[in-house]
Amino acid sequence: MNLDGLHHLTMITGDARRTVDFYADRLGLRLVKRTVNFDQPDSYHLYFGDEQGTPGSILTWFEFPRAAPGRAGAGAIHTIELGVAGQASLEFWAARLGHAIKGHSDGRLRFADPDGLALDLVVTAAGNTPLRAAHPEIPTEHAIVGVEGARAYRGGTDSDLLVATLGFATDGQAGYRVDGERRSFRWGYDDAPAERGVLGAGTVHHIAWASPDADHLAWQARVGQAGIAVTDVRDRDYFRSIYFHEPQGVLFEIATLGPGFAVDEAPDRLGEQLRLPAMHEHLRERLEQTLIPLENPRVRRPVGMQA
């Protein structure tokens, strides 16, 4: 039984419109789902990824309007790595991202999103299946090809949970590696800064690992048997999830690969309309009046249109 690499990462934003503009337009990802937070339905939950919404390409955001800026601290993810095809693509992105760039070295381009989230563009690992979205201003050969890795600050004790229980491979360069059928994902830790972390806009809420549907309950049992408190199974409409804190303090999720994001929308219409969890469908009229309207960049500027 093995995890199938990354499923998604979930962040916090204070401005859904600005997040859509940056990730679905500037970075060229596809807005694959606009829905609401299961626990706070008055707030958006937005998903971005490749053309099909494939696990391994997915970045998601909870919106808490006007949320104060946060700061990564002990037990929190501080940097996310996005893949591109090669050095020429890094040069393309250096020009496109402009003032967002924080640093540029051989094989790595550092930048921040409008909330201050730290992101690195890196050359994709050999053998990783590319997971691209289409955008009229971004040549296919330079498009982002998936999420390559993430790094967190240590916040607890060293443990063999990652290797012995979750099946991570050790990697001398990155720390750990999670190998799926189509993609691998780098995971590592750094010493925490002296400043205490603050959950807010620009911080990472959790990371989710992908599980074949048939293995999900077995993962829940295995984590529990390792002495880690794990939640019951939560139905998230597009996948089922369990959650637990790993020993360094990072919130882990294990999410199923199915049923996927096309369960309630046609694949060619992903992200075009507000989709609500069944438990919140009775709130639709109110939510459609109170949630800030979002414009999908694809409606304004279709993929087939020349830049």
pLDDT in tens, 59-90: 999 999 999 999 999 999 999 999 999 999 99
Q: Residue 305 falls within a domain, yes or no? A: no
Q: What is the pLDDT of residue 302?
A: 63
Q: What is the mean pLDDT of the chain?
A: 95
Evaluate if residue 301 carries a pLDDT over 80: no
Structural domain contains residue 1: no
Whether residue 107 is predicted with pLDDT greater than 90 in this model: the reply is: no
Tokens of 46: 């937005």
108-112 vs 251-256, strand pairing mode:
unpaired
Split into its structural domains, the chain has a count of 1
Residue with tokens 């563009």: 121
Residue 71 sits in which domain range? 6-300
User: Sheet harboring 101-105: ordered strands across?
Assistant: 101-105, 108-112, 118-123, 77-84, 147-153, 184-190, 175-179, 169-171
Question: How does pLDDT run across 280-294, given as a tens digit for each residue?
Answer: 999 999 999 999 999
Q: How far apart are CA 224 and CA 230, in angstroms?
A: 6
Confidence label for 265 from pLDDT (cuts 50, 70 and 90)? very high
Lowest mean pLDDT among 57-61, 82-86, 138-142, 302-306: 302-306
Tell me the Cα Rg of the chain.
Answer: 18
Which pLDDT score, from 0 to 100, does residue 121 have? 98
Domain CATH code at residue 104: 3.10.180.10
Residue 132 pLDDT level (bands cut at 50, 70, 90): very high
What would the pLDDT profile of 225-249 be if each residue is shown by its tens digit?
A: 999 999 999 999 999 999 999 999 9
Q: Model confidence over 173-222: pLDDT tens digits?
A: 769 999 999 999 999 999 999 999 999 999 999 999 999 999 999 999 99
- For the cut 90, the answer to whether the pLDDT of residue 105 exceeds it is no
DSSP 74: T
Model pLDDT, residue 251: 98
Give, for 97, the enclosing helix (H) or strand (E).
Answer: helix 87-97
pLDDT bracket for residue 298 (50, 70, 90) = confident
Residue 90 lies in a domain: yes
Q: Is residue 173 part of a domain?
A: yes
How many Cβ atoms from other residues are within 10 Å of residue 108's Cβ?
13
Residue type, 114: P
pLDDT beyond 70 at 114? yes
Q: Helix or strand or coil: residue 298?
A: helix
Rounded mean pLDDT, 90-110 = 92
CB atoms within 10 A of CB 79: 18
Q: Is residue 306 part of a domain?
A: no
